[in-house]
A and B are shown apart, each in its own frame.
Chain A
Amino acid sequence: MLILTCPCCGIKADETELAPGGEAHIKRHGPGSSDAEFEAYLFTRANPRGVHFERWRHAYGCGKWFLAARATDTLEVFGTYPATSTAVPDAILSRIRARRPDWIKPDRIKPA
């Protein structure tokens, strides 16, 4: 069972207490952006077999949103951090690199 620590209330919550919210760090493209950018914002998602950054909500706890770094191929959790972060904290990046030396932080690849 997937267990994440909520960075807002500090509780170790299992997945029945949490609501998944999809990919994190997506930049909103609004008025003035191209069709391709808006399509990518709405539909194209990173779907890596490996390190993934996600939004979660502590739905049956404090109710707050937070972000998590997780491996989709092993269900290993690298850490959670506040939803207000615009980038992945260095502490979490170094923890990922320690566990997975080959991992390269992805840029957003061009959408289909």
Chain B
Amino acid sequence: MKRYSAFSIFREALRNNSGWQRAWAAPEPKAQYDIVIVGAGGHGLATAYYLARNHGIANVAVLEKGWLGGGNTGRNTTVIRSNYLQDPSAAIYEKSRSLYETLSQDLNMNIMFSPRGVMMLAQTEHEVRGYKRTAQANALQGVATEFIPPARVRELCPIIRIDGPRYPVLGALWQPRAGTARHDAVAWGYARACSAMGIDIIERCEVTAIRSNAGQVAGVETTRGAISCGKLALVVAGHSGHLAEMAGFRLPIESVALQALVSEPIKPCLDVVVMANTVHGYMSQSDKGEMVIGGGADGYNNYTQRGSFHHVEETVRSLIETFPMLSRLKMLRQWGGIVDMTGDRSPILSKTPLGGCYVNCGWGTGGFKAIPGSGWAMAELLAKGHSPLAEAFGLDRFREGRFIDESVAAGVAH
């Protein structure tokens, strides 16, 4: 694989761009792999990448029923932050955020990580208290955040309406090294790096059954033939429940639709990410100038990748209250992704009742930010059988009542 560099761009400019290679290979599936990962989204590809890079296991296949990064990896609002309340969450999300800092160099692919800062608005007295508590917790966890007063909010984000009649801005939880990245590039970068290390990425290959032998996973049946494997990792977000049923167990997960929308492009006016959880909406401005807007999730199970219209209306209505200048903006596109929600709104990285079968799911509305950290921990779990970062996120936490309750502390509107 040729390295990308400023020199390669210059050289290809002189050669009419005739020397670019495929970013990743398209191999036929082999009959047997050490580890099969189902799902070539960000989490699945990152898992494969760290398996090869950190643990030297490269006899790995990543199976994808559609196209690479075509699920939630390509459907999110690209926010990266780690200002969580609970210690296990802060550890894995901060690991992830810190990996994002150097990911472009590690993958030799510009993922456009932009640490522009994330501001979570406190619009009620309860939120002020909650975010002050989170800021203190973050200080103990080694995550750089601070609670900032309204004057500083206005300084960082001049277009915001500080003294709105219903939900005035009373302050914000500010994480200066949080931000955004180019979501597709993250998937492409991991895929390219995986392919270069000899990992097979097999697209348009849907898993139709999971084979087991005496309580131990034996392989998978796919639309491109049977593949046997030593270990199996299900990293399929919203479709985890569907695959778990194939493997013969159930997960404490329900799949719902979460929507986002973008406006027409406008001149630069917002250089931070603003989240307003009381009114269920968050927003950033893309490099193209579009306002990228996310809202709340639907309350009922849904696999259709489209959400309810009234949620769009609620999100936009509340954002206009906080950002009055948006009221004349036209919206260009709206889309939905299927998110896998657990009871405590924390992910599951765990072994399962089927021996050799592992799951990585339940990231719910906040999976994109976790891609590198999740891959790092999942690779360790697959290679060694345990991982310090993943330990608290086991399935047994539901039986034992050790919840990692982020439903009140999490940033996005759940």
Contact = CB atoms under 8 A, between A and B. Distances in A.
Interface of A: 1-2, 15-16, 19-20, 22, 35-36, 39-40, 42-49, 52, 54, 72-75, 108-112
A43 B398 CA distance: 7
State the main secondary structure of chain A at its contact with B.
Answer: loop
B248 A43 contact: no
Most A C-beta atoms less than 10 A away, residue of B245, B252, B255, B353? B252
Instruction: Give the most central of A22, A45, A54, A73: most B CB within 10 Å.
Output: A45
B301 interface: yes
A22 B248 contact: no
B250 A109 contact: yes
Contacts of B253: 45, 47
B250 A111 contact: yes
Given A43-B252, A47-B251, A72-B255, 5 more contacts: A15-B300, A49-B255, A52-B301, A112-B352, A112-B395
B327 interface: no
Given A52-B301, A73-B303, A112-B395, A45 B254 contact: yes
A44 B251 CA distance: 6
Contact of B308 (A2, A52, A72, A73): A2
Contact of A46 (B249, B250, B303): B250
Q: Which 6 A-B pairs have the closest CB atoms?
A: A47-B241, A43-B252, A20-B300, A20-B299, A112-B249, A44-B250
Contacts of A73: 303-304
Interface size class for chain B? 20 to 34
Nearest to A74: B304
A28 to B, nearest CB: 17
B244 A75 contact: no
Nearest to A45: B254
Interface string B56-88: 000000000000000000000000000000000
15 contacts: A2-B300, A15-B300, A15-B310, A16-B310, A44-B250, A45-B253, A47-B242, A48-B242, A49-B255, A54-B300, A54-B301, A72-B304, A109-B250, A111-B249, A112-B251
B299 A49 contact: no
Interface of B: 239-242, 244-245, 248-255, 299-304, 308-310, 343, 352-353, 395, 398-399
Contacts of A111: 249-250
Contact of B304 (A22, A54, A75): A75
B309 A1 contact: yes
A49 B398 contact: no
Nearest to A52: B301
Nearest to B359: A112
A33 to B, nearest CB: 13
A35 B250 CA distance: 16
A43 B241 contact: no
A109 B353 contact: no
Contacts of A47: 240-242, 250-251, 253-255, 301
Contacts of B398: 39, 42-43
A40 B252 CA distance: 8
Nearest to B344: A43
Given A15-B308, A43-B398, A48 B248 contact: no
A35 B300 CA distance: 27
Given A20-B300, A73-B303, A109 B248 contact: yes
Contact of A72 (B302, B309, B310): B302
B346 to A, nearest CB: 13
Contact of A1 (B248, B308, B352): B308
